[in-house]
Amino acid sequence: MKLAVVGTGYWGSNHVRIAGEFVDEGVVDDAIVCDADPDRAATVAAEHGLDYVTDHRTLADEGVDAAIVATPSPTHEPVVTDLLADGVHAMVEKPLALSVDAANRIVRTADDHDRILGVGHVFRHHPALDAVRELVREGALGTVSHLRTARHACQPARPVGALHSLAVHEVDIYRYLLERNPDTVYCRLDQTVAADTHDTVTLVLDFEDVTGVVSESWSIPVAGKRRELVVVGSEAVAAVDYLEDTVVELYDVPPASQPAGTRQSHIVESEAPAEVIELDGGEPLKTEDRDFVEAVRDGREPVTTGVDGTWAVKLLADAERSAERNAVVDVRGDAMVEPRRSVRSRN
């Protein structure tokens, strides 16, 4: 298999590094770099001993079987649809597209040309998050009722805003953990410091019997960054610090209150976790890229499909609609493109 990386910015250069490692490890037979800037393409390719081109439309002629697209978000639709139409399987960095219509067109193109389409929501490959998902699936936490995420930092806001830069992770993570779509969305966007974009997001996703609350901000003074997930169940609470890839903390659920006068001498209050699960795990981005390569080789769907990527785009659009109206938005019953046929590998 020959793998291409299209785009050599921050994330693209990391994908190029991994592609070079895949060649050395025998995961793929060959790899090539593509960037419209010839100087940058040459420099990044040379760092990893790879060839390069400057036009993604030539990749099929170069014998490329699969491509990882890490170009700027506005270019995702034209670049990815070109590749798929040329017979190249593709994985695109989040967001899949800038609108639901565009995302659906990409999914439809992959289906029409029987190509595999993946989306780079890297937290699906975070070892601790995967462990929490298994705990939820196995019922180890009991009945899940609440999810809460905090991503806080004190730094200048990015032009695209905190919703698309930060909360994009949560709308996908919550769907991944619960394995279903929310019913309603409520969002508040605040410009605390930045003059021309929102730097703070409060987002509530209602899954009927589970509430997900997201707090994202670049205007909260913390030491470095704060990135935390808490999943509350009837039997236990799981906590993840995203800055610690391989640790899950489990806490006992506080006991239910008893009638007045009932003695509870057996209860010991403690803030320490009841259990700390330490995991083995590699680099999430490399795990994601390997999953895509193996999906192409095996003719299966990757962990994050084009439909998953479309749902993330849609929920961000719903959140923006909610913020504009200052109202809850019902997201049920919306038409989404679903692949018409099963994926088959031709490699």
pLDDT at 78: 97
Residue 263 has pLDDT above 80, yes or no: no
Report the pLDDT averaged over residues 311-338: 87
pLDDT at 260: 46
* pTM, two decimal places: 0.89
Report the pLDDT averaged over residues 32-47: 97
Output the DSSP codes for 268-336: ---SS-SEEEE-----HHHHHHHHHHHHHHHT---SSBHHHHHHHHHHHHHHHHHHHHTS-EE-TT---
Angle between helices 168-178 and 127-138 (to 10 degrees): 40
Sheet holding 51-53, edge to edge: 51-53, 30-34, 2-6, 66-69, 89-93, 117-120
Residue 236 has pLDDT above 50, yes or no: yes
Residue-wise pLDDT tens digits, 4-29? 999 999 999 999 999 999 999 999 99
pLDDT at 338: 57
240 pairs with which residues across the strands?
Answer: 229
